[in-house]
Amino acid sequence: EVQLVESGGGLVQPGGSLRLSCSASGFPFTDAWMSWVRQAPGKGLEWVGRILSKGGGETTAYGAPVKGRFTISRDDSTNTLHLQMNSLEIEDTALYHCTWEAVAGVSVHWGQGTLVTVST
Amino acid sequence: EIVMTQSPATLSVSPGERATVHCRASQSVGSNLAWYQQKPGQAPRLLIYGASTRATGIPARFSGGGSGTEFTLTISSLQSEDFAVYYCQHYNNWPPWTFGQGTKVEIK
């Protein structure tokens, strides 16, 4: 069974940093292309970014609102995906989901998410 | 960035009736279009990818159509468990991918 479990969310002040993690199991993580998708409270879905597998050069891509502030990385030795978030803004407040692109570009499997709140 | 526009924002349908959700892309995305369903308090669930291919375990009453810039998601006979919010998402070429703003299908 595919499992994606996010952690690391919490309350942070504007300008602060936070690192999210996603523990993956039940599928070949080493070969997986992974994404982060977020959802602000009461709002729609927003694509954050993605990372290809090592075989794909661990190439990353980001949405415009987070480019230059967020960094996606992976640790294949522990089957863990990370999202480093710097210079956080109030608008970054959201539930952050880790997803597995079992079909390239398509978030076939989703974690339940971890909540990030940026507030004074 | 490609903008995805869904219509209507809310769709009121009686159980057993047909529901159709529309999604328009600001430029062609070929058939690189997915549909997701989200219920309150739950993570989204993939319904359709490749514009018309049902994901594993998705009932046949869900169907997707279209290509280029115009797409539809049709639920042939709404069941109680289908009342939810539906999102389209393009994944054409290279990121960034974008989602539509969502369509809430509610009980009439």
pLDDT tens digits for range A65-77? 999 999 999 999 9
Closest among A52, A12, A6 to A33, alpha carbons compared? A52
Which structure tokens are listed for A72? 């996606």
Please provide the average confidence, as pLDDT, over all residues in chain A: 97
Q: What pLDDT does residue A83 have?
A: 98
pLDDT higher than threshold 90 for residue B9? yes
CA-derived radius of gyration, chain B: 13
Q: What is the C-alpha separation between A98 and B4, in angstroms, rounded?
A: 22
| Cβ(A70)–Cβ(A116) below 8 Å | no
Please report residues of A whose CB lies closer than 8 A to that of B86: none
Q: In the block, which residue shows the tokens 């989200």?
A: B38
List, for residues B45-75, the tens digit of each pLDDT value.
Answer: 999 999 999 999 999 999 999 999 999 999 9
Q: What pLDDT does residue B94 have?
A: 83
Q: Is the peptide bond before B95 cis (omega within 30 degrees of 0)?
A: no
Q: In the block, which residue shows the tokens 């522990």?
A: A78
Please give the residue of chain B at the shortest CA–CA distance from A36. B97
Interface test with A, best of B46, B58, B101 (most A CBs within 10 A): B46
Q: What pLDDT does residue A53 have?
A: 96
| Cβ(A46)–Cβ(A40) below 8 Å | yes
- End-to-end CA distance of chain B: give it in Å, rounded: 36
> What is the arithmetic mean of pLDDT over B26-36?
97
Between the alpha carbon of residue B44 and those of residues A26, A37, A59, B13, B84, the distances in Å are: 19, 10, 25, 21, 10
- Nearest CB to A47: which of B43, B94, B98? B98
Q: Three-state SS for A55?
A: helix
Chain A residues bordering chain B (beta-carbon distance below 8 Å): 37, 44-47, 49-50, 61-64, 97, 103-108, 110-113
Q: What pLDDT does residue A51 have?
A: 97
Between the alpha carbon of residue A112 and those of residues A6, A22, A90, A115, the distances in Å are: 7, 10, 22, 10
Q: What pLDDT does residue B41 have?
A: 94
pLDDT higher than threshold 90 for residue A44? yes
At B34, the amino acid letter reads: A
Annotate chain B with DSSP letters as a single string: ---EEEE-SEEEE-TTS-EEEEEEESS--TT-EEEEEE-TTS--EEEEETTTEEPTT--TTEEEEEETTEEEEEESS--GGG-SEEEEEE--SSSPPEE---EEEEE-
| Cβ(B93)–Cβ(A43) below 8 Å | no
A89: distance to nearest CA of chain B, Å? 20
